[in-house]
Structure 1
Amino acid sequence: MSERDARSVGELLLEGDLAMRRLLVDAERLDVAELTAALPSLLRAAEEFVGVLPRRGSAPGQGLPSIAPDPSLGRLRAVTDRMERLRGTREWLSSAPPSPQLSAVRDNLLRARDLVVEHHHAQAVPRPDVLADGAAARARVMHTLYVSAHAVVLAARHSALDRSAGARRRPAWRDREVGALGAIQHLAESLEQLAGEEVRRTFPSASRGEWRELPNPSRLRESMGAWEVEARRSLSGNATPADRAEVVRVQGAILAMGRVLLGVAAHQGVIDRDGFRDLVEPSLLEVEARVGEVRGMVQDLATRGSGGLDHRLARAGSEVVLAHTELVLDGTGAASPAVIARRTDLRAISSDVADALPAAVGVLSELGTSLTDPALVTNAVGLQHLINRLERGQGPRLESPMTPWVAPRDLALGRSVPPPDWVRAEIDGAVEAAFRALSVAITASTSVGLGGREHFRDVTGEGSPSALRPPAGRLGLGQGRSPGPADPGVARM
């Protein structure tokens, strides 16, 4: 039996928004065919979620209609409908599977819709704070659509440039592909403009109405312990390229947001300010840079044919990132130090963050073992992505121009192939550099009195690490556990 999804409405929306922003960081890896396959269903899910949000004009006993049309989303859907019709006329577009990233955001929206419908109090007129929470939720969704439209623009532009490069004379079918990509880019730009106008009009003011529960003090520590268990379990087994990419992505997020929390602790005088500025912060920035290099390599290898993502790993990664973001984020940006200080016990959090550094060593050790396994094979397309990036920085590594590292037939068929020895050495060197940087950061944190809490390991991985979190209020747009069947009246609408 699968465990219950304990994410609140707000966490589901925030997770989707952050996922779309990550797409822009990795724009060159985007697949325009996959994005256009998923975008229409994402828009429909957004309409369904926004359609059930509390709104003015509800009367006692009326409840909510199944879907209340939103004029702005209707205009966006008209654009995606045109994109879907265009996609149906091109076999190379229509045969592509939907983007897993956009599909995950769609599923989050549908789950959020179900939570709102399940826990809306139909007998009561929505109060002003509930309406404000609903407006913040709608604004978050519009921002997510705005960013996803920009991702399609970037993917279409990049794909068109790839197809236009090379010989001066291209075959007619290639010209038709470039023309279709131009049309997709134009539609995506229209979508981006429409969504952007709505974001500029509503997001800054609406986000101030977001309801937030006070964070559970133990959530961060528990989620980091559960994450370490699941990451090491996944990597020590038959980890897929998608699993490795998720591990290094989440580990990088933990390190970056942990540095923010330590910076706030230093700002508030909880830890040594000079020691943090001179020793700890530079060493943590170096760790982030080195882990970022490993992340780029792992994500290249996961570009295509990455296999499924381990469900327990994904859930633990989601939980630990949300446990951090509920402390450090407001809207789409970082919360002020004063706000973060009000949300948590900075002394306890500083100890938890410092203890995450040796935990990261264990996770990276398992990752390095997985990546340097002599039996490792990876998709040829992903391997070629990595080789291209390495050669851009270091120059060609071919033994002969007539013997490419990845055979063209392997690329065309998307076969699994072993990485060349020099690529394995580059990966091993990047992981080793991350280890060295972590060692320096651990020494620096110890020198200013951080750490000391026994490393949290009392997590079996069975059940949700969210189980001890308190229930959320209103729509739960802030952070907190989504209401369960035994929580009547939790979503106070």
Structure 2
Amino acid sequence: MLHDVTGDDALALLRTWGETVQSAGELWRALPAPEWTASGQRDHAVMTRLDTLARTMHRSQLRTGWPGDGPPDARLLHMAETFTRAADLIERYHRPQQSPHAPGAEVRADVEATRVRVLHVLNVSAHAIGVAVRRHVNDESVRSHVSRNDKVRRAVPRGQEALARLDVFERLTTHVGPRLARASVGEHVDGPPRGSRLPEALVRWDIQAHRAAAYAPTPATLRVVSRAQADLASAVGVVVRAGQATGQLDAATVQRVTPAVEATVTAWSGLADRWQALTSPSTRRVDQDLLTASGELQAALLEITHDKTTVADPQTIAQRVDVRDVAHTLQEGLAAAADLAHVVGDAARSPTLVAPARAVLAAHRSRDDTSPATRPPRSEQLASSVDPRDVQVNRPVALTAPVRVDLVSAADTTTTAAGAAMSATSMLERSTAGPAAVATSERQAASRRQAQRVVQMVLPLPSAAWAR
């Protein structure tokens, strides 16, 4: 949410915020009784106040009729559903009356970390909603000067009132930020459950990403693809540095691989930002199969490269997995990414690619502002920009020539960087590993080929319905 909130999101976020806080309160009450330390008492009081504030805020919204009826925000709704499901699981399986012993230290630490995470989620969410509401108020302030519509004029004071209440939410939970890293030490986290998770996740992601980028691509879909590729390249950098620190990869290999991987991360991230700028709340929807594959890939990478809230140290990574084997697996992922970059570039060149008119106009103006030396005359700017009637209703329109040129240039840069990374990481082939790792890699390569054949037979081709 911190990466992707606009003023257009504000109303949907406010409609869903009360339900999210209520679900967080249900999870909080389902957890075993807290340790009655000073911090425990403070957290319990804060959660009670947050629940009360959310209820009064919801009643005010019903009384004033603002933001009114409408669709909820899918992200907050998913968070609320997750909180509710966690509370249901605890109530179903936690039977304190059946256990004669008090929970152990590890369980208490895990519960404490959960409480801190719940408050931290509410803190960050309140900040993101505040950003969206502030932008919405600014937009409505401009509109109110030229409009006599009561609904437009009413939005400004209602939005300012919501901002004041969200500021209270954020201030009440500010103290959990510094505590998050310390509390997460007590979290129970399983290691990689099986050696085949990462290869399977890469195979499924490669298939879904190629299909999504080739069939009816949208800026939102291409953003998800680009962001996941940046995460994959970043994980390669973490793994090879861990291999050098633990002596499993030689320094010459790492020195060649690291700059190429970093350039790939930069290129994919820049491309993802451009696709992000061409999305809006109404066009953010992405195929669920692609989101599932992206989430599984991210989870498979994080359980190798991260320890709680930070990047894991090299020794921890080496204890979890065979670094040389994982590096080879990731190298195969980067090799597939080189072809995927070409597919994304073809999508950027497609004349059928459309985006919301306001997003296209903003990207068009942003490009003019960043390159004043090449800015066309005023009359040419107006002729090449977006039709004001399309902007008014935010209708999907074709990309303007400058926006398309910028996208194609960024896609070409990404293709070049991905090809260079594929070449550099070829040094991570099985020949750099020991005999046992070579045998394991050969078995896993055969398993990946079989899994890919099975997945290709099982996965249906995506329809164009979800793209709308």
Q: Does the C-alpha gap of structure 1 residues 260 and 388 become closer, same or farther in structure 2, counting only changes over 3 Å?
A: farther
- TM-superposed CA distance for 1:418, in Å, is 1.1
In 1, Cα distance between the equivalents of 2:10 and 2:384? 27
Unmatched tracts of structure 1, length 5 or more: 1-22, 58-68, 466-493
Unmatched tracts of structure 2, length 5 or more: 36-42, 432-440, 460-468
* TM-score, L = length of structure 2: 0.81
Deviates more, 1:313-322 or 1:84-93: 84-93
Residues 101-141 of structure 1 show CA distances to partners (whole Å, capped at 9, x for unaligned) of 22222222233333333433452255222232222222222
Q: Does the C-alpha gap of structure 1 residues 170 and 267 become closer, same or farther in structure 2, counting only changes over 3 Å?
A: farther
1:3 is matched with which residue? Answer: none
In 1, Cα distance between the equivalents of 2:160 and 2:252? 53
1:218 maps to which of 185, 196, 221:
196
Equivalent position amino acid for 1:432 in 2? D
Query: Is the radius of gyration larger for structure 1 or structure 2?
Result: 2
2:404 maps to which of 415, 421, 424:
424
1:15 is matched with which residue? Answer: none
Q: Does the C-alpha gap of structure 1 residues 269 and 250 become closer, same or farther in structure 2, counting only changes over 3 Å?
A: same
1:193 is matched with which residue? Answer: 171
CA RMSD of aligned residues (A): 3.2
**Are 1:72 and 2:46 counterparts?**
yes
1:411 maps to which of 371, 391, 402:
391
Q: Does the C-alpha gap of structure 1 residues 367 and 106 become closer, same or farther in structure 2, counting only changes over 3 Å?
A: farther
- TM-superposed CA distance for 1:203, in Å, is 3.0
Equivalent position amino acid for 2:270 in 1? E
1:267 is matched with which residue? Answer: 245
Residues 40-99 of structure 1 show CA distances to partners (whole Å, capped at 9, x for unaligned) of 111112122222223369xxxxxxxxxxx9543221123333443454466673245322
2:30 maps to which of 28, 32, 52:
52
Contact 2:360 2:403 in 1 (8 A): no
1:243 is matched with which residue? Answer: 221
- TM-superposed CA distance for 1:35, in Å, is 2.1
**Are 1:228 and 2:206 counterparts?**
yes
Residues 374-423 of structure 1 show CA distances to partners (whole Å, capped at 9, x for unaligned) of 22222223323332432332245565354461222212212121112332
Equivalent position amino acid for 2:402 in 1? W
2:278 is matched with which residue? Answer: 301
- TM-superposed CA distance for 1:307, in Å, is 5.7
Contact 2:126 2:170 in 1 (8 A): yes
Q: Does the C-alpha gap of structure 1 residues 131 and 165 become closer, same or farther in structure 2, counting only changes over 3 Å?
A: same
Q: Does the C-alpha gap of structure 1 residues 389 and 34 become closer, same or farther in structure 2, counting only changes over 3 Å?
A: farther
SS of 2:385 mapped into structure 1: coil
**Are 1:312 and 2:294 counterparts?**
no
In 1, Cα distance between the equivalents of 2:284 and 2:131? 25
Contact 1:301 1:386 in 2 (8 A): yes
Quick one: percent identity of the two aligned structures? Answer: 25
Contact 2:341 2:418 in 1 (8 A): no
2:75 is matched with which residue? Answer: 101
Equivalent position amino acid for 2:419 in 1? S
Q: Does the C-alpha gap of structure 1 residues 413 and 168 become closer, same or farther in structure 2, counting only changes over 3 Å?
A: closer
* TM-score, L = length of structure 1: 0.77
1:287 is matched with which residue? Answer: 264
In 1, Cα distance between the equivalents of 2:69 and 2:359? 20
1:84 is matched with which residue? Answer: 58
Q: Does the C-alpha gap of structure 1 residues 414 and 301 become closer, same or farther in structure 2, counting only changes over 3 Å?
A: same
SS of 1:378 mapped into structure 2: strand
- TM-superposed CA distance for 1:191, in Å, is 0.7
**Are 1:437 and 2:417 counterparts?**
yes
Deviates more, 1:289-298 or 1:324-333: 324-333
Q: Does the C-alpha gap of structure 1 residues 317 and 220 become closer, same or farther in structure 2, counting only changes over 3 Å?
A: same
In 2, Cα distance between the equivalents of 1:412 and 1:96? 20
2:39 is matched with which residue? Answer: none
Contact 1:241 1:302 in 2 (8 A): yes
**Are 1:385 and 2:362 counterparts?**
yes
Contact 2:384 2:401 in 1 (8 A): no
Contact 1:300 1:382 in 2 (8 A): yes
1:329 is matched with which residue? Answer: 306
Q: Which has the higher contact order (CA 8 A, sep 6+)?
A: 1
2:10 is matched with which residue? Answer: 32
Contact 2:361 2:386 in 1 (8 A): yes
Deviates more, 1:162-171 or 1:119-128: 162-171
Q: Does the C-alpha gap of structure 1 residues 89 and 287 become closer, same or farther in structure 2, counting only changes over 3 Å?
A: farther
In 2, Cα distance between the equivalents of 1:97 and 1:404? 34
Contact 2:230 2:266 in 1 (8 A): no
Contact 1:55 1:134 in 2 (8 A): no
- TM-superposed CA distance for 1:287, in Å, is 1.0
SS of 1:432 mapped into structure 2: helix
1:8 is matched with which residue? Answer: none
Residues 408-460 of structure 1 show CA distances to partners (whole Å, capped at 9, x for unaligned) of 221221212111233222211111110101111122222x4446767644334
1:117 is matched with which residue? Answer: 91
What pairs up with 1:337-416 in 2 under 5 angstroms? Answer: 337-395=314-372, 396=375, 399-400=379-380, 402-403=382-383, 405-416=385-396
SS of 1:417 mapped into structure 2: strand
Q: Does the C-alpha gap of structure 1 residues 162 and 56 become closer, same or farther in structure 2, counting only changes over 3 Å?
A: closer
Q: Does the C-alpha gap of structure 1 residues 112 and 257 become closer, same or farther in structure 2, counting only changes over 3 Å?
A: farther
Residues 458-490 of structure 1 show CA distances to partners (whole Å, capped at 9, x for unaligned) of 33448999xxxxxxxxxxxxxxxxxxxxxxxxx
SS of 2:123 mapped into structure 1: helix
Equivalent position amino acid for 2:18 in 1? P
- TM-superposed CA distance for 1:181, in Å, is 2.9
In 1, Cα distance between the equivalents of 2:416 and 2:322? 30
- TM-superposed CA distance for 1:237, in Å, is 2.4
Contact 1:234 1:313 in 2 (8 A): yes
Residues 217-244 of structure 1 show CA distances to partners (whole Å, capped at 9, x for unaligned) of 2212221111111111222323444332
Equivalent position amino acid for 1:76 in 2? L
In 1, Cα distance between the equivalents of 2:12 and 2:248? 48
1:150 is matched with which residue? Answer: 127
| Alignment size in residue pairs | 429
In 2, Cα distance between the equivalents of 1:276 and 1:157? 46
Q: Does the C-alpha gap of structure 1 residues 386 and 105 become closer, same or farther in structure 2, counting only changes over 3 Å?
A: farther
In 2, Cα distance between the equivalents of 1:267 and 1:30? 47
**Are 1:127 and 2:107 counterparts?**
no
In 2, Cα distance between the equivalents of 1:274 and 1:28? 45
More helix by share: 2
